[in-house]
Chain A
């Protein structure tokens, strides 16, 4: 990763979180009771508890709000998706580990180093 890209990435992340703090505060103060009746009359600590979520997940709830997506969808069984994810992830992890072990750099022992290097190390 180049230095410029890393700087840009961290700047974007900071900007995302600053925006999130503003949206999050708006959410917990004004929006929460409108989005869910259970939040009406809830206490101060409940608002504190949901603030990190409001700040970090702001694109998710904001787009949901704009698109007026149905928030109550019927529950579904997810067992098949669990299995499919494992079927994909498990071999990928094993493969990556085997590859990393195979191409692991071999650190030369002292007796295989050139004599000049050993002399320099002794100095």
Chain B
């Protein structure tokens, strides 16, 4: 959420996040190289270049698994939400690690070719019609291209220029990059070694990440029981006091919309559950300083009109609410983003 863009909007949390990331990566690279050397049979050894290639590739893949696991983990437990905050830095670092892996590979395996190394990459193994002998390097190259598109478009500016929906679809490309990388690694392992520890580790990571995604989708479906509208169209939400103060109840309408109904200062307001920034779940956030605050990146909106406080100008749709005979109702028809809507006042609060 930035009035005038900065290259990176640093704050204390982001610095700490990146410091932990850097230290974690250094530790992983060191441990990977040490264990790889120790695990070599007598008489065999990796060259430093081969070690570096494998270590950077493994670090990039590990980071990609972490990136993909953070989303479902945050939906399964709120404890993981802070990890989402700076996920884009993880993505950019993942691309840089993959790029180093790719460049070192080109230099080591294709750099001495009479051909352009990039051309040599695609023609040195021509078995494109074989599954077992498939040139897995080309899959890695395709994944690297996708990761490059995601990394260079990660700044908020590109989300605004390309449009929020298109940007989101573009960033779904991470799943294709992941699929390509799983195949890149495993087909490489299948061709070069007995499917042992590497195969088990990569297949296990894939099963874990896909399992987390399916689990969070299933649990989300159970949590998101659709509410029925009454005859006049309003949805009965029962006792407004049942909503914890400064928190929200998320309502999933028959039309497939999610509404975040907030209770704050003895009042009730309803806004879209989808943050205008990166579609974060606003209903899982809270009202702080009089504004609904997204749990993912801290973007804020006034509950009465869905507008960000000045000087910001982001807006989200609002919904009408009313309290009748102590029962809270919300109308499922969304109003245009930024439309002022009078909050319902809870009597006796």
Contact = CB atoms under 8 A, between A and B. Distances in A.
Contact of A1 (B126, B132, B210): B126
A77 B274 contact: yes
Contacts of B220: 79
Contact of B128 (A1, A35, A42): A1
Contacts of A60: 162, 166, 170
Contacts of B115: 3
A49 B9 CA distance: 12
Given A75-B316, A77-B258, A100 B190 contact: yes
B132 A7 contact: no
B160 A71 contact: yes
What secondary structure prevails in chain A residues at the interface with B?
A: helix
Contacts of A89: 175-176, 178-179
A50 B272 CA distance: 30
Interface residues of B, number: 69
A96 B134 CA distance: 11
B230 to A, nearest CB: 24
Interface string A1-25: 1110011011001000000000000
Interface stretch (B27-35, B58-66, B146-154, B284-292): B146-154
Contact of A83 (B118, B151, B162, B217): B217
A-side interface size class? 35 or more
A59 to B, nearest CB: 11
B131 A42 contact: no
A75 to B, nearest CB: 4
B69 to A, nearest CB: 13
Given A6-B123, A46-B6, A86-B175, A71 B162 contact: yes
B161 A61 contact: yes
Contacts of A45: 6-7
A35 B280 CA distance: 24
B8 interface: yes
B172 interface: yes
Contacts of A38: 2-5, 157, 160
A97 to B, nearest CB: 6
A72 B164 contact: yes
A35 B162 CA distance: 10
A79 B218 CA distance: 11
B116 interface: yes
Nearest to A103: B132
Contacts of B217: 79, 82-83, 86
B5 A39 contact: yes
Nearest to B130: A103
A104 interface: yes
